[in-house]
Chains A and B, each alone.
Chain A
Amino acid sequence: MANNISEQIQELVDNNDVILFMKGTLTFPQCGFSSVVANILGNLEVPVKDINVLEDMEIREGIKAFSNWPTIPQLYIKGEFIGGCDIVKEMFESGELQEILQEQKIIAA
């Protein structure tokens, strides 16, 4: 992996409060797991920057190394890696995701 990919990803993560690396887009997810996370965030009315990894093979492979996480989607909130589909779903169901988003002033309490 070229260094500049990891720098490019770091910049994306730093410059977007909520960023989702996914297959497809928020409005047109192209994978069931990406779709679940997109739906949860849409449900909570969270402003999200979506990165379609299917359009960029370097980011698609780069994000896996960057996060040390083997699968897509991957959600970052305020620079912190939150997880993939299973974790985001679990945190949404337990209310933890909403808590983080409220603490970070991304959604209203």
Chain B
Amino acid sequence: MPITKEDLYTNIKNSFPDSSINIDDLAGDNDHWSVTVTSKYFNNKSRIEQHRLVQDAVKDSDIHALQIKTIPTTK
């Protein structure tokens, strides 16, 4: 089920209040997204842990494809 960009943004922002978020609709169908999230919550975490946090943040939305890039603030 597709999701609006605003809802996707809100879901991520709620989990990482400090974050800056960039969202791209890859296919123009609200169902294939690319998100880049920069947040202190990723600091000192492995890439897998960082991605799991984002996966958790959006787990209730049924998105067909989500490309994730996470950037810690200390990098």
On B, residues with C-beta under 8 Å from A are 47-48, 51-52, 55, 59, 65, 67-69
Contact = CB atoms under 8 A, between A and B. Distances in A.
A85 B65 CA distance: 12
Contacts, number: 24
Interface in A27-79: 33, 68-70
A22 to B, nearest CB: 16
A11 interface: no
B48 A86 contact: no
Interface residues of A, number: 13
A86 B52 contact: no
A70 B68 contact: no
